Structure 1
Amino acid sequence: MSSNSLPIVGICAWSGTGKTTLITELIPLLRAQGLRLAVIKHAHHQIELDQPGKDTFRFRTAGAEQVILASAQSRAVMFEQREVAEASLTAALELVNDQQIDLILVEGFKHETLPKIEIHRPSLGHPLLFPHDSQIIALASDLPLDLPSPVRVTQLDLKQPSLIAQFILERIVGRNTQNMTELRTTPSCADAREPSSLTLHEAQTRILAAITPIKTVIKQSLRLALGQVLAEAVISPLDVPAHTNAAMDGYAVAAADLPLNALKTLPIAGTAFAGHAFAATCPPSACIRIMTGAPMPAGTDTVVMQEHTETTAEGWVRIGTGHQFGQNVRRQGEDITQGQTVLTAGRRLSPADLGLLASLGIAEVKVYRAPRVAFFSTGDELRSIGEPLEAGCVYDSNRYTLFGMLKNLGLDVVDLGVVADQPAALQAAFKMAADSADVVITSGGVSVGEADYTKTILDQLGEISFWKIAIKPGRPLAFGQLGETLFFGLPGNPVAVMVTFQQIVQPALLYLAGETAYQPLVIPARTTQRLKKKPGRTEFLRAIYEPAPDGSLTVHTTGAQGSGILMSMSRANCYIILDEDNAGVEAGAWVKVQPFRL
């Protein structure tokens, strides 16, 4: 087997250190240099790549030793190993097509003999595998390592996968990289995944852990309470309906007087209206003309709707067969009983909730004070609407999208306008915002290349962390506190502002406001187009979902997905969510869709 002579290098580390992440970053870098790659991963658990119900799964469960699936784009071979034995690298290498591969990357198999690069993160507290493994030729760490003398081993910066790829090209492949024309000195938003970036879930979890919900309670009238969060449960003071009543216009009768085998004619003893009850008792073998909502007269228990009757010339009513006891009657308390909890604390009040509260005669409720949010945009190139637009300048759109999203959450909003990239102006704006609000949100000023004094000012005024989030769009984010005030620094591109707000800031603001049940809706839909993606980041594609003829949902993007193309967001009614490990999907595949216009 000649693949044993192919260049090969292993990536070894303790579990959870980031072996898969690094290999995912190395693959596009090495492919950009013309290399064809094979990756071998050592799995310590049972492997199941097939799905029950698929033809290949049926062949395997029927007893086939090998199942080969072939298409124009891909080939898959599934071997059944009847006798359980530990996997070996030698056996795995026998499966490599050496005529189509230039380099083999290996994850795991740390006890096999092959050149290895060890990943080490001192913050995790694991000991080095080097120098106990003589096959380790380099250490890739996120921090410089102080190794004892005379230990000598190549040290690589884990935060710069391009330099690790260059090391593999030179040391393993034997290629001279001095004439390489591609230049990648530091990680960027073009990389599949940066080693130091947080996943979306990690960022959300850290932020929520740092927030204490506002517990200031105020009383609000119903109309002013719309969109606010209940501070205490609402208990019904009465039954709904307050009395047993008719659900239809028709005739109230006793079930004993309903006909069984033939038509029956009954005299009409009176009429009951909503708000004007029939005060007497209905005589036996008679009926009462009744309107929807009217209390059921004594002596009756069933309503026959008027469409199922006919009146006679004498003014009596004729009823047919097929009716049942209690039909078309709403029982007292069948919707709500007195003393029942109708709305729980932590609920954001909707229009339907206001109607429910009004139906109980409740005029005001206790809610948590809405968080006050101050926001502004930063940038010398930004102009407000109405100002002249000089060359190189743009109108500020971010404040308007932020205003709309904040108002939709029922928050108290303060717009502080556009602040120039000047230290004094920025410092004054940050102080004013922090003094007047519970939360400060800015757009712009948190990306690589922004003015250094922005970070310096924030560090002086509070405790701020600058993060890179593994999402697209919306990689940079700043979060922390300016004194007692929460701070979110969003990227400057318009779509990135909206995505980071909706996915990261909005859950935090709702939690701060006291809401306990927020969970964004995610539904399945079939994509009508192929969607390209590299693993490493969660991507949010602006899209339109709509019903298909069979009743299912289909979805397609709104076109170009650049983070500055605001039209793509204006046309969209949802995001297509492609998870971190997703490597793209074909047309017709099921994808996750998050609607944002309902």
Structure 2
Amino acid sequence: MMQRIPLPLLGFAAYSGTGKTTLLEALLPILTEAGLRVGVLKHAHHDFDVDKPGKDSYRLRKAGAAQMLIASHKRFVLMTETPQAEAEFAYLLSRFEHSKLDLLLVEGCKNIAFNKIELHREEVGKPWLYPHDDNIIAIASDANHLETTLPQMNINDLDSIAEFVLRYVREQCRFEERSTGDDSSQEMLAKEICVHRLLSELKPLAESETMPLTDAYGRVLALPILHEGDVVVDSGALLKQTHLSSLAALGIKRCLVIRKPRVALLSLDDSASQPCYAVLLGMLHTLGCEVNAHVVDAEKCQQRVEVFEEALNLNEVIILIGSAKSWQHIVRGLNTVIDASGFSLQFVEQKLLFLMDTTLEGLQGYFLSTVAPMLRKLRGERGHLVTGQKARLTQGIKAIQGEVEFYSGSLTVDNMGSNQVTPVMHSFESLASWLTIQSKENINCLIAVPAAVDTLKAGECVTIYPLQGKI
């Protein structure tokens, strides 16, 4: 029996010509945008070579190296010669760094026993693998509906296939939780998938403005910049100093950028003095938002309604600071669902509405994991999804079960190149106290603790969100 690997494994099985690679090429961006870290194993029926004749690595292999590892600052590749026998499937799976992946997809290997989606196109003229393969768990084809209880999808409907894969990952993760009791990262994965669904409904701003290159730092390019027919900087790029220096050297003085998202920040007078208010303002400005802040009298309900309605008309995003109870007359009218941690997100008249509680760490964590991806997509930035990283705890955390919590942490890298994080357990009474402790304790990330967890032990893997450059 094949040894079990510690992450979901799913294959795409089909005869040659069905379009396995084409489908995976289109599917992978959807899965990665959903927050999944995906590994792919592709089986080749014929001899292949990823190396190029004449290159140093090619020459060394041909000179007799049984294994050749070539590395740069961006990637590394290990090439192993197997002239005597093809490497076994289980061995190939073991070559992946499982701790750095959420899902492993396999293209091909249809004769090996593991869960697969069958891909079938009538025009290819090949027979069905199902029902002769008991490991097929779903079918994606362009044929008429089959008489089977298996889930069926149109092979050209990428969204349906992506939804099936995401659901499969969640189900496999729940099975792992029941088997191992470790659910410290899967709930965060589910939240990232939820954010992806909302992101798919969100449309980037269509309005743009022309501005001098000297004022364009931190803005998102609306159209590609060409020089002698070549793209120098593509649309959707977040303009940084390296871009601006290169463009200035080419004599370019102005550029077209997407306008800033307009964000209304509504807080009650007792919330505006809290440290989270200043931090949130800073995070919004760092993301290049045009912030319209309003402080409302906590005793005047009608004023809150009027300010909210005006904000809804003039802004793309509305953030309400305070508890659900404080805004209950507005929240109740919108049928907003509040989760256990006191945060919520929904669309109202095609606008984004966030309700955020006033705890400093919780607000930062919710902003980085949920609000920031929305704002980045709204302003047209490529690679807008903010996904958590994985790290191992150096000491335990005692949490409140039933609430998603965020704790300050100090992230380091050990001698093996693995992330390690130490919780910094303090009560922050003011922004000044948080900044003082942040500097003293080297707070550089937030540790996310799922609602289902009340205790995390040293050595357990958690999801973290780095703070550098975010505030």
**5 Å matches for 1:68-79?**
none
> Judging changes above 3 Å, is the alpha-carbon distance between structure 1 residues 574 and 206 closer, same or farther for their aligned structure 2 residues?
same
Whether the 8 Å contact between 2:368 and 2:465 is mirrored in structure 1 is no
Distance 1:532 1:480 in 2: 34
Are 2:357 and 1:491 aligned?
A: yes
Whether the 8 Å contact between 2:204 and 2:380 is mirrored in structure 1 is yes
Give the corresponding residue for 1:556.
Answer: 422
Whether the 8 Å contact between 2:362 and 2:405 is mirrored in structure 1 is no
Are 2:257 and 1:367 aligned?
A: yes
Residue type of the alignment partner of 1:432? E
Whether the 8 Å contact between 2:274 and 2:358 is mirrored in structure 1 is no
Whether the 8 Å contact between 2:322 and 2:358 is mirrored in structure 1 is yes
Give the corresponding residue for 1:453.
Answer: 329
Helix, strand or coil at the partner of 1:426? helix
Whether the 8 Å contact between 1:421 and 1:451 is mirrored in structure 2 is no
Match among 407, 422, 434 for residue 541 of structure 1: 407
Distance 1:476 1:596 in 2: 20
Distance 1:486 1:588 in 2: 38
Are 2:98 and 1:227 aligned?
A: no
- Taking structure 1 as the reference length, the TM-score comes to 0.42
Whether the 8 Å contact between 2:274 and 2:430 is mirrored in structure 1 is no
Helix, strand or coil at the partner of 1:556? strand
Residue type of the alignment partner of 1:348? L
Whether the 8 Å contact between 1:495 and 1:563 is mirrored in structure 2 is no
Return the offset for 1:359: 1.8
Whether the 8 Å contact between 1:464 and 1:480 is mirrored in structure 2 is no
Whether the 8 Å contact between 1:559 and 1:568 is mirrored in structure 2 is no
Match among 203, 215, 240 for residue 350 of structure 1: 240
Return the offset for 1:372: 1.2
Helix, strand or coil at the partner of 1:504? helix
Are 2:400 and 1:510 aligned?
A: no
Whether the 8 Å contact between 2:444 and 2:467 is mirrored in structure 1 is yes
Match among 286, 300, 314 for residue 422 of structure 1: 300
Distance 1:431 1:555 in 2: 43
Identity of aligned residues (%): 24
Whether the 8 Å contact between 1:527 and 1:556 is mirrored in structure 2 is yes
Give the corresponding residue for 2:311.
Answer: 433
Whether the 8 Å contact between 1:203 and 1:504 is mirrored in structure 2 is no
Residue type of the alignment partner of 2:290? D
Residue type of the alignment partner of 1:557? P
> Judging changes above 3 Å, is the alpha-carbon distance between structure 1 residues 369 and 489 closer, same or farther for their aligned structure 2 residues?
same
In structure 1, list runs of 5 or more residues that go unmatched.
Answer: 1-44, 52-60, 62-191, 238-338, 385-394
RMSD: 3.9
Helix, strand or coil at the partner of 1:417? strand
> Judging changes above 3 Å, is the alpha-carbon distance between structure 1 residues 489 and 505 closer, same or farther for their aligned structure 2 residues?
same
Distance 2:416 2:351 in 1: 51
Return the offset for 1:217: 2.0
Flag the structure with larger Rg.
Answer: 1
Distance 1:398 1:538 in 2: 18
Residue type of the alignment partner of 1:507? P
Match among 278, 293, 296 for residue 400 of structure 1: 278
Distance 1:568 1:396 in 2: 12
Distance 1:48 1:505 in 2: 37
In structure 2, list runs of 5 or more residues that go unmatched.
Answer: 8-89, 91-182
Match among 346, 368, 377 for residue 267 of structure 2: 377
Return the offset for 1:434: 2.2
Return the offset for 1:443: 0.6
Whether the 8 Å contact between 1:347 and 1:517 is mirrored in structure 2 is no
Highest relative contact order (Cα 8 Å, sep 6+), 1 or 2? 2
Return the offset for 1:589: 4.7
Return the offset for 1:513: 0.9
- Taking structure 2 as the reference length, the TM-score comes to 0.52
Give the corresponding residue for 2:109.
Answer: none
Deviation per residue, 1:296-329 (Å, 9 max, x gap): xxxxxxxxxxxxxxxxxxxxxxxxxxxxxxxxxx
Distance 1:506 1:212 in 2: 15
Whether the 8 Å contact between 2:207 and 2:258 is mirrored in structure 1 is yes
Helix, strand or coil at the partner of 1:465? coil
Helix, strand or coil at the partner of 2:336? strand
> Judging changes above 3 Å, is the alpha-carbon distance between structure 1 residues 597 and 432 closer, same or farther for their aligned structure 2 residues?
same
Return the offset for 1:541: 2.7
Give the corresponding residue for 2:95.
Answer: none
Deviation per residue, 1:164-190 (Å, 9 max, x gap): xxxxxxxxxxxxxxxxxxxxxxxxxxx
Distance 2:460 2:444 in 1: 19
Helix, strand or coil at the partner of 1:468? coil
Return the offset for 1:453: 2.2
Deviation per residue, 1:117-159 (Å, 9 max, x gap): xxxxxxxxxxxxxxxxxxxxxxxxxxxxxxxxxxxxxxxxxxx
Residue type of the alignment partner of 1:410? G
Return the offset for 1:478: 4.3
Helix, strand or coil at the partner of 2:337? strand
Whether the 8 Å contact between 2:296 and 2:303 is mirrored in structure 1 is no
> Judging changes above 3 Å, is the alpha-carbon distance between structure 1 residues 521 and 357 closer, same or farther for their aligned structure 2 residues?
farther
Distance 1:533 1:49 in 2: 29
Residue type of the alignment partner of 2:329? Y
Residue type of the alignment partner of 2:411? Y
Give the corresponding residue for 1:529.
Answer: 395
Whether the 8 Å contact between 1:198 and 1:467 is mirrored in structure 2 is no
> Judging changes above 3 Å, is the alpha-carbon distance between structure 1 residues 519 and 525 closer, same or farther for their aligned structure 2 residues?
same
Distance 1:426 1:198 in 2: 35
Return the offset for 1:525: 4.0
Deviation per residue, 1:91-116 (Å, 9 max, x gap): xxxxxxxxxxxxxxxxxxxxxxxxxx
Residue type of the alignment partner of 2:344? L
Return the offset for 1:230: 0.9
Question: Aligned residues, how many?
Answer: 288
Distance 1:484 1:520 in 2: 22
Residue type of the alignment partner of 2:372? Q
Distance 2:342 2:357 in 1: 8
Give the corresponding residue for 2:72.
Answer: none
> Judging changes above 3 Å, is the alpha-carbon distance between structure 1 residues 414 and 451 closer, same or farther for their aligned structure 2 residues?
closer
Return the offset for 1:465: 2.6
Distance 1:50 1:397 in 2: 41
Give the corresponding residue for 2:343.
Answer: 476
**Which structure features the higher share of helix residues?**
2
Distance 1:340 1:202 in 2: 36
Whether the 8 Å contact between 2:262 and 2:315 is mirrored in structure 1 is yes
Return the offset for 1:397: 2.9
Return the offset for 1:555: 1.9
Helix, strand or coil at the partner of 2:251? coil
Distance 1:552 1:48 in 2: 23
Deviation per residue, 1:448-475 (Å, 9 max, x gap): x44642335xx3xxx5532316xxxx44
